[in-house]
Chain A
Amino acid sequence: MSAVIEAHHDDHDHGPAKGITRWLYTTNHKDIGSMYLWFSFIMFLVGGVMALVIRAELFQPGLQFVEPALFNQMTTNHGLIMVFGAIMPAFVGLANWMVPLMIGAPDMALPRMNNLSFWILPFAFGMLLSTLFMESGGPNFGWTFYAPLSTTYAPDSVTYFIFAVHLAGASSIMGAINIIATILNMRAPGMTLMKMPMFVWTWLITAYLLIAVMPVLAGAVTMMLFDIHFGTSFFDASGGGDPVLFQHVFWFFGHPEVYIMILPAFGIVSHIISTFSRKPLFGYDSMVYATSSIAFLSFIVWAHHMFTVGMPLAGELFFMYATMLIAVPTGVKVFNWVSTMWRGSMTFETPMLFALAFIFLFTIGGFSGLMLAIAPADFQYHDTYFVVAHFHYVLVSGALFSIFGAVYFWLPKWTGHMYNEGLGKLHFWLSFIGVNVAFFPMHFSGLAGMPRRIPDYALQFADFNAWSTVGAFVFGISQLLFLWILVQTIRAGQKATTEVWEGSEGLEWTVPSPAPYHTFAEPPKVA
């Protein structure tokens, strides 16, 4: 990213500033995208270390390395960091980099607010992580922070946790508003809505989900704050409230939230599959409608996370059937990807490997989700490692694999260098094997009844857990290889062409590699 632009008559066309202030004061979507991506990678490593603490403790039955109190903080913060600190900012970073390039816009619609959205995050997560070193310890009530664990019985540090959530939420809302304004207002002439690249479509819908549910999360933590500090009784039955109310409000946010973490992945995979099959995406229109349907359904299924709290029967039935309905549009997407590959001239570079693994492993996660959707069966699975297996299949081998794929796919455009294909493939295979060895056995330990979030377990789960720990360490350590590949590609490597990939389609492949600091100062024509 050292592209120097000759002095132009247009004074906006300057190159990047020098030194640290470039990053502190920037309004450039590429700089901000890079900062988001690096921030999320650091958070990914931090949350990953927490995961390895958890897995090390669970390698054998009994208590080995950590006290249960610290174990609870590790499970809680691992979840919070990975969801709000790693996956979400990574997708926002990709949107920052790619959406203006894909729609032929000079930058994001509101560039200064864009930088604000980013810079809130390091502060917010710094505050969250600082709680781990406080006397009371950090949040220890699970990433879903159910009341009354997170209110009546919470450590003092919960106040900082609440404010960290407020700040991260504000950042997400501003980011989403920016993305919507960019997509609706800044497309190049000729790019109608139904000509937009799939990643842009999925992000548009994701941004709507964010704007709709992040404020609800803010409402939930605000009610917690009032219960804790101002004596209200929202989640306290003795005053006429209800702890289950917390779960309803939380999951009204929480279920759209999990789609916020997967819809952009759908967009990325659509691009990669189409590029390396050298065929246009099969069923573009149906992809758009399927994504919209999934987004709509995400608002009316939240209580499937709460089948065991004692809902009226009508509620159990409604949420069960509504949840199963999601399989239909999701199936449309999977079949479209498979049809895109049908009779394509496929090659298997690293991005394609991650995208293919995404289709297989995300589908496994989807199917275990269908099992969980069956209310009577869920009474057995609820809060067991089966749930842990399910959401790691959709979030690690789903969302995270799509991010890996996206990075390999667009890295040549960002840096101007090709990554080392051999090392990329090695990274893929280590990750693929690590993920499956770590999470597949959890289906069995969960079905057999092993509860999640507990630092010890009965002897019969020992083998499954030993395997999971081995897989987790393989996966975790292989991410250092990813870091090495990234650094190596940024510093040197074979020059990338403008198109980068044979069969690449879209405006981002019409600008030079690396993409100049300012692109599309004048909008391109889209046929």
Chain B
Amino acid sequence: MTDHHAGNEAYYVPHDSKLPVWLALGLIMFMYGFGSSLNANADGSDASTFLTWAGFGVIGVTLYVWFSTVIKENHAGLASAQLKRSYVWGMGWFIFSEVMFFAAFFGALYYVRNFAVPWLGGEGEKGMAGQYLWPSFSPEWATGTNPSEYRPGPAETMAAPALGSSWLSYLPFWNTAILLFSSFTIHWAHTGLKAGKRAMLTGWLAFTVLLGIIFLFLQVEEYIHAYEALGLTLESGIYGSTFFILTGFHGFHVTLGTFMLAMCLVRVLRGHFSPEDHFGFEACSWYWHFVDVVWMGLFIFVYIF
């Protein structure tokens, strides 16, 4: 640990800051407003909508100022090597917490497919439940029917086409290709940054942002198709529930990741980041690889199997 000594001496402890308490205020405004909007129209939904957006605005402005401050501090040379390591640890464990968030939904998917749905269909050790409750329910995944006849299931699901048939018309296949490729493009942008090749950095980074936008566009297409043509909705039973919560939260994270990379692009165009010092970029690229890995899990467990 002796080599950390020099860093320790210069560890930058920031002055008092108005940012945290503003962010906390923005968060509670947003959450309270959003909660009130969801909770129906009882008490003037206009006020809650306003509160939601006002909170969103406060969060946005505060985060903008916060990140600008950190960037300025770094440019002013206040951030020691040790402080930068704190950012690295922070981002790494933040991504791990995101992994665990998705793990909850993957775990739910695993449980319903291997336990809940078979049992409801009268199979397995606890199949008695289905035999008593809904004896006519047949438990096939991806399920088009629900145990209760009062809850209409989807006409079709997003399950992958049979082996041997063409995947070229299967949209999730293209989405997978796009995201996988974008992991390479962001890596090439990173390589360019480290080698001091700014054109390579700018080009591949811009291309990655474009791929992210195309992915999101196709995802919206898929949702419209699911809702309008397939009858596959949030309300259409457990298949729709798991499908939309997993792909939906993934899509939300892709949106965030695309936004982060777009911000990086803006910073690159303004001449930020050096071959030695670019953790802001690297953190965003880690995040991008993370959403890519989650998508691979999704493609395998939601679409194919």
Contact = CB atoms under 8 A, between A and B. Distances in A.
Contact of B120 (A109, A114, A119, A237): A237
B125 interface: yes
A181 interface: yes
B237 interface: yes
Given A115-B17, A159-B39, A223-B108, A189 B238 contact: no
Interface string B97-122: 11111111101100110011101100
A288 interface: no
Contact of B39 (A21, A156, A190): A156
Contact of B104 (A216, A237, A238): A216
A223 B245 contact: yes
A213 B107 CA distance: 13
B108 A249 contact: yes
A144 interface: no
Contact of B100 (A114, A182, A186, A216): A216
Contacts of A185: 4, 82, 85-86, 89
Contact of B89 (A177, A189, A212, A241): A177
Residue among A21, A25, A124, A213 with max Cβ neighbours from chain B (10 Å): A25
Interface in B192-248: 233-235, 237-242, 244-245
A163 interface: yes
A123 B24 contact: yes
Given A27-B14, A159-B35, A249-B104, A239 B151 contact: yes
A230 B21 contact: no
A120 interface: yes
B43 to A, nearest CB: 9
A112 interface: yes
Contact of A219 (B35, B42, B101): B101
B24 A119 contact: yes
Contacts of B15: 12, 27
A237 B147 contact: yes
A116 B23 contact: yes
A45 interface: no
A213 B21 contact: no
Contact of B2 (A112, A189, A225): A189
Nearest to A313: B125
B184 interface: no
A160 B238 CA distance: 25
Interface string A148-173: 00000000100110111011001001
A288 B8 CA distance: 26
Interface in B1-37: 1-2, 4-5, 8-9, 11-21, 23-25, 27-28, 31-32, 34-35
Contacts of B1: 187-192
B174 interface: no
A328 B117 CA distance: 37
B116 A215 contact: no
A462 B143 CA distance: 53
Given A185-B85, A245-B111, A522-B8, A215 B126 contact: no
Given A177-B93, A211-B97, A229-B38, A120 B120 contact: no
Nearest to A26: B16
A244 to B, nearest CB: 8
A132 to B, nearest CB: 15
B173 interface: no
Contacts of B125: 312-313
B238 A240 contact: yes
Contacts of B86: 109-110, 181-182, 185-186
A189 B8 contact: yes
Contact of B105 (A159, A213, A219, A518): A219
Given A170-B27, A211-B93, 10 more contacts: A110-B86, A119-B24, A120-B24, A163-B34, A167-B27, A185-B4, A192-B1, A226-B234, A234-B112, A240-B147
